[in-house]
């Protein structure tokens, strides 16, 4: 699957040029010099997502569970997976939400993690990838679209080279 297949051809050509020249990793490192974030555990991820929700979507339905998922394939799930579970509780039908985030987002700069968390959170309110959905994403992360593009370039780099170091070790 091509991570950047849905983007304009000129943009794809620029990205592939960087990739072929072996400069894409450096381009990404320059753009995100902060290195890998510190949200290591499912507990820390839950707190991270909850803090975003409290800041921007306080009145949205509660999130039940948040976890990294090592089996999740990022692109097949449109950069994330969302499950909406309906449970019968007494006579009430209550929608509960789980948020799963592919484990590869454990080893990325914080803006990448934020982008995927923002994407999943936006689905709590908006089901489809429509205008309202992306407006909500941009409300939570003003440079959402630029970061999503960079995440896709990172996936492209991983497809080609298998791995990428975020900090240069001298
Ligand atoms: Zn989505």
The answer to whether residues 105 and 42 touch, using CB atoms and an 8 Å cutoff, is no
pLDDT band at 53 (very low <50, low <70, confident <90, very high): very high
Q: Return the ∠ at Cα 126 (arms to 52 and 76), rounded to 5°.
A: 90
Domain assignment present for residue 30? The answer is: yes
Domain tally, the chain: 1
**In this structure, is residue 2 part of a structural domain?**
no
Asked if 132 and 53 count as a contact pair (C-beta separation under 8 A), the reply is: no
For residue 135, tell me if it sits in a domain: yes
pLDDT over threshold 50, residue 149: yes
Q: Is the pLDDT of residue 94 over 60?
A: no
C-alpha 91: how far from chain center: 36
CA distance 45 to 35: 17
Which residues surround the ion ligand 1 when the cut-off is CB under 5 Å? 78
If you measure from the C-alpha of residue 148 to the centroid of ligand 1, how many angstroms do you get, rounded to a whole number?
A: 12
Q: Give 121 Cα–ligand 1 centroid separation in angstroms.
A: 9
- Per-residue CA distances from 74 to 9, 56, 71 (Å): 22, 25, 9
What's the 65 CA to ligand 1 centre distance in angstroms?
17
For 137, the domain range is 9-161
Give the pLDDT of residue 89.
46
* C-alpha 136 to ligand 1 mean position (Å): 12
CA of 78 to the centre of ligand 1 (A): 6
- Averaged confidence pLDDT in the chain: 87
């Amino acid at each position: 699957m091509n991570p950047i297949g849905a983007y304009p051809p000129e943009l794809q050509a620029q990205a592939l040029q960087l990739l072929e020249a072996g400069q894409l990793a450096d381009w990404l490192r320059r753009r995100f010099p902060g290195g890998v974030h510190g949200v290591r555990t499912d507990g820390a991820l839950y707190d991270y997502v909850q803090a975003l929700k409290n800041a921007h979507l306080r009145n949205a339905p509660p999130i039940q569970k948040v976890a990294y998922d090592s089996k999740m394939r990022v692109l097949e799930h449109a950069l994330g997976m969302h499950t909406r579970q309906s449970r019968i509780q007494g006579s009430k039908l209550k929608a509960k939400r789980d948020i799963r985030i592919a484990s590869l987002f454990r080893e990325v700069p914080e803006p990448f993690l934020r982008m995927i968390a923002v994407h999943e959170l936006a689905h709590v309110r908006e089901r489809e990838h429509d205008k309202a959905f992306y407006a909500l994403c941009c409300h939570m992360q003003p440079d959402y679209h630029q970061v999503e593009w960079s995440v896709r370039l990172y996936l492209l780099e991983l497809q080609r080279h298998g791995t990428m170091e975020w900090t240069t070790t001298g």
